[in-house]
Amino acid sequence: MAPLPPIDGHLLINNFMRNNRQAPIPARSVNSGRVLSARSVSSLRYAKTPKPSPSLQRFLDLVKNYKVDQSSKEEREARQLEQLSSTNLLLTPIPNRLGMNAVHQRVTEILSIASEAQSLQLPIRSRVPTLTPDQTQQLLQFVQSSPHARRMPFSLIPTALRLECSEETITATLAEQGYKSYPAIVRPHIDETTRMLRLNFAESHVQWTAEQWKSVIFTAETQVYIKPIQEVLVTRKSDEGLDVDCVNHLDHDIEQSSILFFAHFSGLTGKGPLFDWNRMLLDTYGRLRPESYYQAFSPSFANWLDEQPCDAPFAQQPEREMSKHCGVAYRDEVRGRLMTVVHLPPASPDLNPINEIFNTIQTAVEADRVNLISNRETEETHIAAVARHTWDGITDDYLEQLIGSMTKRCQAIIDANGMYTRF
């Protein structure tokens, strides 16, 4: 609370003494007659005077312990008048007889100012206990020590480090050092062999022009889960998102119902159709396998390829990163047409701009989950509709921006020495 306006403590107390038939206090015994705040009045010591009367003590306690509540203004004023009346400060003839009108007016002003000052302040929280410098250093070393430590909930850290503190203390200490819990960025695992393959590809293609990338046919597939996947939280600084210990590896074996989408586009001819393996296709062709994929999707895909330039290169992902049915279908189609192949390195979604569109689709589905009905068939239909609507809304200008980013993507891989990038 802001300091209360000063009042003449000597005058105020001596008026009380006269009112309660006690000896006046010499001015020099009240801080040499200096002007005091109301808080100072409540802490005075009467070394050479009788004990304050109950009436005086009630007033001093009132000023010292005054707090603003949530009552209405009228209720507060009524309560203040009632309390001040009990100290003999109010009502005639006492104020008139002792000249206390000025004191009453001043006290009322003090209480009013205090009320306004307190109403502008946020609730005061007690200070969270802090760790010692050695304990703080121990905490930081632990958090940075391993992927497991990065993912440990704050509530378990005191036990792991044998610290006698609360989760709140851990949270506050890490925040002071710039650490917070963030959702982990999900990327495929990159081992040393993969890192070198990515780096070599980026170095050999970083000089490609936008026109060269524009002629490439990109394809990809993605899974959109019916139910949301629980995010993994990691403890890190804001600029550590791509740290190896902070990245969550992509899991292709999540046992959860999902919809499989297939898409392709070219910078020259735009988007192709978006395919999804749905319940109707399952009833028609049986479970998804190379034969059923050919029957369901190959005619449309082949028609789209017929519209591409005969010398258009095909960006081929490693087959082990695609579903078997999709990989076999693409491989046979490309071989049958004698197409030039651009072999993308493994674990490189950042080199296939179509994945950027899939991220947009995933974001749209997550934003629309509030509209889903808890019925599997209805959920699948709704998610597929949202995905198709998002895909159809992708403009040619946006596709051109994605193609134009390929040089930056290659350069980012070079800068990261083959490791993870922001793309």
Give mean pLDDT, residues 5-30.
47
Structural domain span for residue 149:
133-178
**pLDDT for res 403:** 94
Residue carrying the six token digits 């009788």: 50
Last residue of a domain, one of 81, 97, 119: 119
Q: Which residue has the higher pLDDT, 221 or 325?
A: 221
Biggest CA-to-CA distance, the chain: 115
pLDDT digits (tens, 9 = 90+) for 38-92: 444 444 333 344 566 665 566 556 555 545 445 565 666 666 556 555 544 444 3
If asked whether residues 99 and 204 sit together in one domain, one would say no
Q: How buried is 409 (Cβ within 10 angstroms: 0-12 exposed, 13-18 middle, 19+ buried)?
A: buried
Q: Is the pTM of this model over 0.75?
A: no
Q: Which of 171-175, 315-319, 328-332 has the highest mean pLDDT?
A: 171-175
If asked whether residues 48 and 169 sit together in one domain, one would say no
If asked whether residues 156 and 271 sit together in one domain, one would say no
Q: For residue 107, name the pLDDT band (cuts at 50, 70, 90).
A: low
Q: For residue 6, name the pLDDT band (cuts at 50, 70, 90).
A: very low
pLDDT digits (tens, 9 = 90+) for 279-289: 778 778 777 77
Whether residue 174 is predicted with pLDDT greater than 70 in this model: the reply is yes
If asked whether residues 264 and 322 sit together in one domain, one would say yes
If asked whether residues 155 and 289 sit together in one domain, one would say no
Give mean pLDDT, residues 5-29.
47
Q: For residue 106, name the pLDDT band (cuts at 50, 70, 90).
A: low
In which element (H, E) is residue 341 found? strand 341-343
Cα 362 to Cα 351: distance, rounded to the nearest angstrom: 19
Domain presence at residue 420: no
